[in-house]
Structure 1
Amino acid sequence: MKKIGAGFIFLLVMCAALSTTAFAKQPYSSYWFPEQLLQWSPASDPDAAFNRSTVPLQDRFVADGVNAHATKAPKVMALSALNPGTSGVPSQGSSKFEANTFTYWQYVDKLVYWGGSAGEGIIVPPSADTIDAAHKNGVPIIGTVFFPPTVYGGKYEWVKQMLQQNSDGSFPAADKLIQVASHYGFDGWFINQETEGGTPADAQQMKVFLSYLESHKSNSMHIVWYDSMTNEGSISWQNALNDKNAMFLQDNKKQITDNMFLNFWWKDLKSSAEKARSLGRSPYDLYAGIDVEAKGYDTKVNWNLLFPDKDPAVTSLGIYRPDWAFNSAESMEDFFVRENKFWVGPNGNPSNTSSDQAWKGIANDVIESSPINELPFTTNFNTGSGQKYFVRGKQVRDKSWNNRSLQDILPSWRWIADSKGTPLSPVLDWSDAYYGGSSLKVSGVLNPNNATHLKLYKTDLKIEASTKLSITYKTQNKPSLKVGLAFADQPDQNIFLNVKDKTSPDWTTETLNLTPYKGKRIVALSLYFDSKNEVNNYNIQIGQLSIQNANDPIKPLPAVRDLKVTQTDFRNGIYGDARLQWKQLDQQVKQYEIYRVLPDGSEMFIGATPNHVFYVPEMRRIDKETITVLKVVAVNGRYEQGQSSSVKISWPDYPKPTAEFKTDRTLVAPGESVNFTDLSTEVTEGWSWTFESGSPAVSTSKNPVVTFAQEGVYSVTLTATNSSGQDTITKKALITVSKEAGAVKNLALGKTATADHACGEKEGAPNAVDGKVTDNSKWCAIGNLPHWLQVDLGAEHQLSAFVIKHAESGGEWSGFNTSDYTIQVSSDGTNWTDVVNVQGNSAAESTDSIALVKARYVKLLILKPTQGADTAARIYEFEVKGL
């Protein structure tokens, strides 16, 4: 999304990290255009069950905060792109460690799942895993309805379709929005109408639409309006609540929407607050927007207009694109550092935000909230992604993963480490874990002068007679550790419970009895580290912290019933994926874990979900196995596994290979070498090459390098073999050896180029042949597929290769790289011949060498413009190599 004028435009259209060709059964999060929304139903959508959240919205509380400057009244709304795309978002996480696992929920009161584009869809519900994570933290999460500006592909007919009203007064689109939110389990919609072309009558119809939505939704659902469309129907950002947009918030005594997000360029908020009060609304129903997409915590904000010194906040705060912290980071560690500074300020301490820097962190003005108000409470400090996965200290997966459904409630305060000396350093660490993918690591120099009090959780937990606290840790040193508790009657004082001084390189759990404090309410949990002797390399991992009543009726979970495979898909005989389904247990289940039983009898963790359906990502066949066993086991709130159920998947017959190869070039001078790359299917076990007039003339290497000494035109043959059979491919007249090969150049440079569409005047076809690869020199096309780019070379030439520089070459996201394309050549511009057909490209730059062919015209046909469903083509340069 980029800003234009005073508004904001979501152009960062999102796409899949995983190809739908390779993962035919992968369920993806939903997105629609209006016509698709009107036709949608859970029964007809095969992915609907995977896109549901099963985690109810938790209650949470505010109470007093740790920052004396922060207040309770203002709220925070974050508009965040939690996934890198609108389309192609896996419903239940993926095999990538690098994911926007947002963790500062304690400072957010509403989160808008930002998405939508003219190329994919404009109605975007949150993905199921983001709903689960938000709800665990007590944060309502809402979807986006985005009508983009015309310059970015917006069509006013989409607005009209949404506003269609039946004779009985109902709005079919509004009813569908309510149905989607109810079925998927999220909490409302953010309406952003920025498509030009409206009239005063349209504005009135929009008000009626919003009023219908507001009056027919459940009480727990939130409808938010963005300051863009005015009462005249035009798009004019007011940066305030005034007479031009007030009717979209309140109409006399009738509430139209719950909140309004004010555009970013406000210079006075008091008039908006006064206008809200005159309408009978709270000024905190208004969210004054700040745009941090480009600069994050380096964004200049006139904070005093919103949070004046010694006076109450004027309105609430709206933050547009705090996902900057993830998008700008170089690593996950860097992401967590940036996010910490963004939310709690440069000191990295929410209780001390005093700084000479302009950005003091959101914690400077907003009190943290907490959902930890009932037992049991257990955290494994799991961020929702990892490079491995552990179950009770045992590593059960050695591959990366992310799934925000599995994210724990993370520390309320990151970080308050009080010490009279240099405090120990706490971090969330992915190198080791007790349960999940991460743990709390505390390290540094520990000595008698720097005892460290690490405050972690804001709570409201009543201690019963049977309440116990357990802590699981691992250290090469003595733990030198106490657990701190603060109680409601004396919140500024702590009592500390000793953890036995036992050195343990393995995970050790110690249980502490809280019976002496029966009837008290715990308002804070902390850890205290001290030592009588200096420890230079003190290092401890905290794997789990848990408080629960020992006599709570949590029984071991039985095996799930009716476990079955509802779909399977096999690729090339050695890759397979599956969809699983089972009957949910009546008992309290934290999550269901899915394992693959390997041929040697060991088990590998595949994933987990609180849902009763699961997609098993593409598995590679092991040692020509014929059967793969999958197991599902339920886990309770104490992270105790129940009994397992299993189901079998039968593999097809082991296939013979399909032979294929490519070359780095096909036109060479005498004595030059050609690199051959095998592209045969993975089941290939042996290769037999024959090179006409080549040296060597034959080879059994997988990727041979061959020299051709004499001028001429030569053929190449490859036979791929395995135990099931063989396949042979011959490419005749493939290699041309000529003394003229040194004259090969880019024949398309500066030539006449035309195309089917352009995204704008400055993104036309000539940009693809200007020799420049910069942000402002590309051909971009939107509209119906296929897109095409045609180049007139001016005369016939001998062509040998094509180079395409896709979106990533110009600095854009790799998900925008062209996936499927065809290249055609012609001598007359009328009759065309295919010379290149590519499916599944993901590279930033692709080179396709061909047997020498004579042509004047070249056409690039783009069949699948991105890695996902976005239909916009982005080509920074198209080179035609030849003589």
Structure 2
Amino acid sequence: MSDPLEVSRRTLITVGGAGLVAALAGVGTTASAAAAGSAAPKPGSGGIPPGPSTYGWNPADLLDFDPKTHPWARHLRCLVPLAPRIEPFAPTQAHPDLDPGVRLSTLSLDDAGTIYEGRNQPIGLEGHVYTQRFWPYIDVWGTWHGQVLPSVPSDVVADPSAPGRTYGVIDIPNPGWTEAAHKNGVKTIGGWFWPRTGVDFGEFLVQAADGSFPVGDKLIEIRKYFGFDGLFINQEASITAAQAEKLRDLFRYLKAQDPDFYLQYYDADLPNGNLDYQNTLNQKNVPWLGAPGDPIVDSIFINYGWPYVDADLSGSAKTATAAGFDPREVAFAGVEHQQGGFNPEECFTDYAYPGHPGPISVALFVEDQYWATAANSGATTTPEGRAKYRDLEQRFWSGPTGNPATSGRIEERTPPYRTDVLNYKRWDGIAHGIVERSPYGALPILTTFNIGVGSTFYLDGKQVRDSGWDNQGCADRALTWQYWTDGVTVALDESTAYEGAHSLALTGTGVVHLFKTDIAQADHTEVRVVAQGLSTIELGVTRRAAPDRIVWTRLTPIRRASGWIEYGGRVPCGDDRIARISLRTSGSGHLGKVLLADAQSLYKTPARPRSFAVADEGPGAGATRHLSFTWSRQPDATAYDVLQGANHWLGRVHRDAFFAESVDLTKGRTFQLVPIAPNGNRGPSTTTHL
């Protein structure tokens, strides 16, 4: 049988990740779609964003890279280390009989909905773009879209139909997404897409007399400097056998010089250089893995035709095992969501589900296309539209009920597939096949339900911004489950917030489980919950020795702030480790903040930051100015807020630099930098003046 994805793959080569659904189906061209988006800029129409943005790389760009001369290098770094994840503990899984050995990688649009297509902006003014909040199910996250070379003139970048819009073979992941991923223990990988025009493939393979690869050395340099974890190798055009052998040598060199450089290879080009999708892991493509102790790549993303070649994936598992590898570390079965949505042709959860260990792992392709499609029609420009598609996102990851503990389809899957693509009732949910992971191995644990995007911003319950912003990097670590509940209804809500742009709306009486943990207590644990409208709040602690028992502590009001009430309580010190944190509430209201910290660190604040400076970077929209800020990072602060005057929030970053787009200087020329500790406490600010 011929590969059912042949047209899909060829189209992807042509559009370079610009959106296959749009390319094939003309998404957003109906009268109603046009009307819905009439007041919003068209996604992909913006040209080059002001200030820091990433771009495509070819060998010449790599070899020329010097962070000292790159105009925005300091603004594009992820300085957040990859967080360790706690060991699996089946009794507190949403599905205790789900095997934690199955892994998940994904290739996503980290610019879904943005007006900028040829460049990638880590921080912007677009409150309607997509950000990821289901990191606990992801092990390796990759970027998918392609970016135009830095040498392409700005007027050409601004016109998607213009000739000469040459994309680079390589693009690094959005640094903000890498920050968010690392907070949650997720590796991030950039893109390598071949073929591209304007470059000779042999330029990547040049080897020096000493055996080194100049391009390999530069790939390692940019990986470490910008703080991401590796590359997805999308070889989708034939190369010569000699080039294929040299490419394997390059990959071996990367792994030898930088063992942490993660490489995932797409099931396309064979080791002899021929383009030939196998749709399984077999003797033809498994040589790309190398051998245990002599790695070439870390894993292979198996092409989407596997249901017709290796229906139950047992053949791929046997091939990996025979080669000396753990199948679930090296083999990822691809699922095509860009066209298939909730109804893809491939159904991985037929072979990995509660009580049935999956034979290999799973790879998702553009699982966030539904958001990109909605944004293209203008549907995400309103709070109601965003709520609709955030609800779809929840059902994609947690299952059709929105509760990971009750995942699993509620309608049978029947062909034709890739139709009725938003019908979540036929979709099991990622939580049905992948165990939730967690970085919560120590205190403090803090969330204000910040997902890295918003149409407003609040501090201590007071609104300090009334316009849109996006910055995936400043999102809080994700809740482990969204939402594992019993008796209470929970929804993400942007109508009010205590800090950030969102809160959780709760209705009814019942339990919501928040964090999967593995915490040893040196002292009693202090608890702070900020809420409004709720009648009662209790904190629930599940310990490893008694995973079927939740110990409840009633929280009491201790402070009021701007319509919110802060509740406090204490978890007595215990010898047994804490395995889960839950809340039990009654009434209808909102959660704005949850904090758990040991008693000794609850009130710690960071020191005043130093060397804060501002520079004028030129005219912005209208009469505004673009500004950039720099300062010295300090060890007791994990984030920094930049404010104009006393109470206008410009942004939050984990770096030592921030670019503020289109600042209205009539609101003031004095700016504050406020350091933020891991427990969320804010330290004394420092000021600068333009």
Report the TM range for the smaller structure's normalisation.
0.7 to 0.9
- How far apart in 2 are the matches of 1:592 and 1:18? 28
Q: Give the stretch that moved more between structures: 69-78 or 627-636.
A: 627-636
Q: In 2 relative to 1, CA 277–595 (structure 1 residues): closer, same or farther, beyond 3 Å?
A: same
2:288 aligned with 1:248: yes
> For 1:195, which of 237, 247, 264 is the aligned residue?
237
2:643 is matched with which residue? 595
Post-superposition shift, 1:577?
1.2
2:7 aligned with 1:4: yes
1:162 is matched with which residue? 204
Per-residue CA deviation, residues 270-319 of structure 1 (Å, 9 max, x unaligned), is: 22221111211111111011111023112132436643896531111011
Matched residue type, 1:485:
V
1:436 is matched with which residue? 500
Matched residue type, 2:340:
K
Q: CA RMSD in A?
A: 2.5
How does 1:217-296 map onto structure 2 within 5 Å?
A: 217=258, 219-251=259-291, 254-266=294-306, 267-268=309-310, 269-284=313-328, 285-296=330-341
2:402 is matched with which residue? 348
- How far apart in 2 are the matches of 1:510 and 1:385? 27
2:554 aligned with 1:498: yes
- How far apart in 2 are the matches of 1:503 and 1:234? 68
> For 1:323, which of 352, 368, 372 is the aligned residue?
368
Q: In 2 relative to 1, CA 253–636 (structure 1 residues): closer, same or farther, beyond 3 Å?
A: closer
- How far apart in 1 are the matches of 2:139 and 2:676? 30
Q: In 2 relative to 1, CA 639–229 (structure 1 residues): closer, same or farther, beyond 3 Å?
A: same
2:94 aligned with 1:66: yes
Q: Equivalent residue of 2:338, what SS? A: coil
Contact kept in structure 1, 2:97 and 2:354, CA below 8 Å: no
Q: Equivalent residue of 1:641, what SS? A: coil
Per-residue CA deviation, residues 476-496 of structure 1 (Å, 9 max, x unaligned), is: xx5222221111111111111
Per-residue CA deviation, residues 695-744 of structure 1 (Å, 9 max, x unaligned), is: xxxxxxxxxxxxxxxxxxxxxxxxxxxxxxxxxxxxxxxxxxxxxxxxxx
Q: Give the stretch that moved more between structures: 80-89 or 202-211.
A: 80-89
1:94 is matched with which residue? 124
Post-superposition shift, 1:147?
0.9
> For 1:79, which of 102, 107, 120 is the aligned residue?
107
Post-superposition shift, 1:568?
2.7
Q: Equivalent residue of 1:4, what SS? A: helix
Matched residue type, 1:467:
T
- How far apart in 1 are the matches of 2:621 and 2:386? 34
Contact kept in structure 1, 2:620 and 2:662, CA below 8 Å: no
2:539 aligned with 1:483: yes
- How far apart in 2 are the matches of 1:302 and 1:160? 38
- How far apart in 2 are the matches of 1:633 and 1:500? 30
- How far apart in 1 are the matches of 2:226 and 2:519? 31
Matched residue type, 1:518:
G
- How far apart in 1 are the matches of 2:620 and 2:364? 44
1:508 is matched with which residue? 565
> For 1:27, which of 52, 55, 59 is the aligned residue?
52
- How far apart in 1 are the matches of 2:354 and 2:389? 31
Post-superposition shift, 1:553?
8.5
Per-residue CA deviation, residues 794-831 of structure 1 (Å, 9 max, x unaligned), is: xxxxxxxxxxxxxxxxxxxxxxxxxxxxxxxxxxxxxx
Q: Equivalent residue of 2:332, what SS? A: strand
Q: Equivalent residue of 2:281, what SS? A: coil
1:141 is matched with which residue? 188
Post-superposition shift, 1:124?
0.8
Contact kept in structure 1, 2:354 and 2:432, CA below 8 Å: no
Which structure has the highest strand share of the two? 1
- How far apart in 1 are the matches of 2:208 and 2:685? 51
1:848 is matched with which residue? none
Post-superposition shift, 1:5?
6.0
Gaps of 5+ in 2: 20-42, 148-164, 380-384, 414-426
Gaps of 5+ in 1: 149-153, 531-537, 650-883
Post-superposition shift, 1:253?
6.0
1:584 is matched with which residue? 633
Q: Give the stretch that moved more between structures: 296-305 or 604-613.
A: 296-305
How does 1:116-155 map onto structure 2 within 5 Å?
A: 116=146, 119-148=166-195, 154-155=196-197
Matched residue type, 1:28:
S
1:718 is matched with which residue? none
Count of aligned pairs: 609
Please tell me whether Structure 1 or Structure 2 has the larger radius of gyration of its CA atoms.
1
TM-score w.r.t. structure 2 length? Answer: 0.83
2:523 aligned with 1:461: no
Matched residue type, 1:315:
I
Q: Give the stretch that moved more between structures: 297-306 or 232-241.
A: 297-306
Q: In 2 relative to 1, CA 238–455 (structure 1 residues): closer, same or farther, beyond 3 Å?
A: same
Matched residue type, 1:12:
G
Contact kept in structure 2, 1:483 and 1:526, CA below 8 Å: yes
Matched residue type, 2:72:
D
Q: Equivalent residue of 1:182, what SS? A: helix
Matched residue type, 2:399:
G
> For 1:640, which of 681, 685, 690 is the aligned residue?
681
- How far apart in 2 are the matches of 1:155 and 1:414? 43
State, as a whole percentage, how many aligned pairs show the same letter: 26
Per-residue CA deviation, residues 607-665 of structure 1 (Å, 9 max, x unaligned), is: 1111001112112342xx8x71122111112222222222222xxxxxxxxxxxxxxxx
Q: Equivalent residue of 1:332, what SS? A: helix
1:180 is matched with which residue? 222
Q: Equivalent residue of 2:71, what SS? A: coil
Contact kept in structure 1, 2:212 and 2:253, CA below 8 Å: yes
Post-superposition shift, 1:16?
6.3
- How far apart in 1 are the matches of 2:354 and 2:591? 40
1:733 is matched with which residue? none
How does 1:614-653 map onto structure 2 within 5 Å?
A: 614-622=658-666, 628-649=669-690
Q: In 2 relative to 1, CA 604–571 (structure 1 residues): closer, same or farther, beyond 3 Å?
A: closer
TM-score w.r.t. structure 1 length? Answer: 0.66
Q: Equivalent residue of 1:484, what SS? A: strand
Q: In 2 relative to 1, CA 582–309 (structure 1 residues): closer, same or farther, beyond 3 Å?
A: closer
Q: Equivalent residue of 2:249, what SS? A: helix
Contact kept in structure 1, 2:607 and 2:684, CA below 8 Å: yes
- How far apart in 2 are the matches of 1:351 and 1:386? 29
- How far apart in 2 are the matches of 1:442 and 1:245? 50
Post-superposition shift, 1:251?
5.0
> For 2:346, which of 301, 320, 325 is the aligned residue?
301
Q: Equivalent residue of 2:56, what SS? A: coil
Q: Equivalent residue of 2:82, what SS? A: coil
Post-superposition shift, 1:502?
9.7
Q: In 2 relative to 1, CA 413–572 (structure 1 residues): closer, same or farther, beyond 3 Å?
A: closer
Per-residue CA deviation, residues 127-185 of structure 1 (Å, 9 max, x unaligned), is: 1110110011110111111113xxxxx34844221112122221111111111110011
1:338 is matched with which residue? 392
Contact kept in structure 2, 1:68 and 1:351, CA below 8 Å: no
- How far apart in 2 are the matches of 1:414 and 1:497? 23
Q: Equivalent residue of 1:273, what SS? A: helix
By relative contact order (CA 8 Å, sep 6+), the higher-ranking structure is 2
